[in-house]
Amino acid sequence: MSQKINLSDTFSYGKLLRFTLPSMVMMVFTSIYSVVDGFFISNFAGETPFAAVNFIMPFLMILGTAGFMFGTGGSALIAKTMGEGDRELANKYFSMFVYAALVIGGICAVLGFIFIRPMAVLLGAEGQLLEYSVLYGRIILLALPAFTLQMAFQSFFVTAEKPTLGLAVNVLAGVLNMILDFLLVGVIPLGLVGAAVATGVSQVVGVAVSLVYFASRNTSLLRLGKPYFGSRPFFKGCINGSSEFMSNIAMSVVGMLYNVQLLKYAGEYGVSAYGVLMYVSMIFNGIFIGYVVGYAPIVSYHYGAGNHKELRSLRRKSTVLILIFSVAMFALSEALASPLSQLFVGYNDALLEMTKRGFVIYSFAFLFMGFAIFASSFFTALNDGLTSAVISFLRTLVFQVAAVMLMPLIWDIDGIWLSIVVAEVSAVLVSVAFLVGLRRKYHY
Kindly state the average pLDDT of the residues 204-229.
94
Query: Any alpha helices (H) in 305-368, and if so which ranges?
Result: 308-345, 349-362
Delimit the domains of the chain by residue range.
21-442
pLDDT higher than threshold 60 for residue 95: yes
d(Cα 133, Cα 256) in Å, to the nearest integer? 13
Kindly state the average pLDDT of the residues 105-115.
95
Kindly state the average pLDDT of the residues 51-79.
87
Q: pLDDT tens-digit profile of 277-287?
A: 877 788 888 89
pLDDT higher than threshold 70 for residue 1: no
The pLDDT score that the predictor gives to residue 37 is: 76
Q: pLDDT tens-digit profile of 344-382?
A: 777 778 778 888 888 889 899 999 999 999 999 999 899
Element (H, E) at 5: none
Q: Identify the band that residue 297 occupies on the pLDDT scale cut at 50, 70 and 90.
A: very high
pLDDT higher than threshold 80 for residue 252: no
Q: Which of 29-38, 69-78, 79-88, 223-232 has the lowest mean pLDDT?
A: 29-38
- The pair phi, psi for residue 407, each rounded to 5°, is -70, -35
Q: Is the dihedral of CA 346, 333, 246, 418 positive or negative?
A: negative
The C-alpha angle 344, 350, 353, rounded to 5 degrees, equals 70
Kindly state the average pLDDT of the residues 188-207.
92
The pLDDT score that the predictor gives to residue 2 is: 54
Q: At what angle do helices 408-437 and 385-393 cross, to 10 degrees?
A: 160
How far is CA 36 from each of CA 29, 32, 186, rounded to the nearest angstrom? 10, 6, 11
pLDDT higher than threshold 60 for residue 332: yes
User: pTM to 2 decimals?
Assistant: 0.76
d(Cα 403, Cα 422) in Å, to the nearest integer? 7
Output 10 or 45, whichever has higher pLDDT. 10
d(Cα 421, Cα 160) in Å, to the nearest integer? 36
Kindly state the average pLDDT of the residues 116-132.
90
Q: Which of 50-54, 187-191, 202-206, 215-219 has the lowest mean pLDDT?
A: 50-54
Kindly state the average pLDDT of the residues 71-91.
91
